[in-house]
Amino acid sequence: MKYFSLVWAGLWRKRTRTVFTMLSIVVAFLLFGLLQGINQGFNTVTSNLDVDRLYVSAKTNMTDGLPIAHLNRIKSVPGVRAVSLWTYFGGFYQKAQDPLPAFATDAQQLFSVYKDIKIKPEYLEAMRKTRTGVLLSEQLAKQRGWKVGDHIPVGTSIWTKKDGSSTWDFDIVGTFDVSKYGAGFPAFYLNYDYFNEASAFGQGVVHYYIVGIDDPHQAMRISQQIDALFANSTYETQTQTESALAVMQLKQLGDINFIANAIVGAVLFTLLFLTANTMMQSVRERTAELAVLKTLGFADGKVLLLVLTEALLLCLFAGMVGLALSSLVFETPALRQIFGDDFSMPLVVIVMGAGMALLLALVSGLPPAWRARQLNIVDALAGR
């Protein structure tokens, strides 16, 4: 610590250059934290999804649908605790550009499968008794300004009614808390029986069966048994765990892991040259000063450590600031609404970032530090 003033003075010799280099490092590690944080966060979220839920869809494509007759046969499989269903409604409110995440379902069974969703029993009872009833997430109700008792018309570009109308009238009978699952979770549920009776076509269509099982360790066996029930039939099935389905859906958007790593790699590679150039210029400008230090008795190794410490201070401080800023972004309501309340900056990203900052400091600081160590006093003072 007694040489800290020397390191600090060398670091701020050219204030403008140091400030801009620090800003570049801060921005680079902010980007690193955001991209890797979201990437690792997705991995964490999908790995933590309940493995006691299975999703059954058509083997060919989810949109092909399955017959409602599959429901009782799936219930008969040993180890199955409860079965509900999702049929995509594809609704919108007032205009087609304002979509609603609406699904037809059996609400009583659905909330038995999703035990972590919080809902009042009276809301479920009201849903059972109200043919045109709908249940909304509290987040969606707040966003739309809707409340229990409201009557809302919902349009659809897919499911016209038997009377030829494409507008469905619903009554809000309750809300539920879906914060654990984030904004991407379906938040608008209508009664499947009402939908099935009133729709002009596609009666008995189910896009997903959601299966709750007693023992998560039996997920593979139960999945195989469900698929075996419908093997070689007109409506073959594909059964997978909730986490496997989430991973598959993410891959449809693209290889997020590769994209994140490619962008971060390009940024850090460019930053390496910038930081190394800054350190080389700094040492080159201080050749005579370093020679004076050696004249005063500073050993070669001590001069090397002074320059290397300067690079470490620059990279680690700026890198930690960038990572801290990215951590703050993960605390914003916008990201928590999208990914759920449990979503936060993974600790592994902080550790990776600190390691990257340390590596950046060593790679960019070691060459100029070694040059300073090898400096010849007579040549340096003579300007050679």
Exposed (0-12), middle (13-18) or buried (19+): which is 151, by Cβ within 10 Å? exposed
Q: How many independent structural domains does the chain possess? A: 2
| Structural domain harbouring 285 | 4-46+254-381
pLDDT for 181 beyond 90: no
In this structure, the number of other CB atoms found within 10 A of the CB of residue 347 comes to 9
Going by C-beta distance under 8 Å and a sequence separation of 6 or more, which residues neighbour residue 22?
A: 314, 317, 318, 321
Q: Is 228 left (phi over 0), alpha (psi -120 to 50) or beta?
A: alpha
61 & 210 share domain: yes
Strand partners, 350: none
pTM: 0.62
Encode pLDDT of 37-88 as tens digits. 777 766 655 554 556 789 999 988 877 889 999 999 999 999 999 999 999 9
270 & 184 share domain: no
Rounded to a whole number, what is the distance in angstroms from the first to the last CA of the chain? Answer: 32
Picking from 193, 214, 235, the residue at the C-terminal end of a domain is 214
Please tell me the least confidently modeled range out of 123-127, 135-139, 250-254, 298-302.
250-254
| Residue 223 resides in a domain | no
78 & 23 share domain: no
143 & 277 share domain: no
Report which residue type is found at 123: Y
180 & 203 share domain: yes
Strand partners, 102: 188
pLDDT for 278 beyond 90: no
186 & 39 share domain: no
91 & 166 share domain: yes
What is the predicted pLDDT for the residue at 154?
A: 93
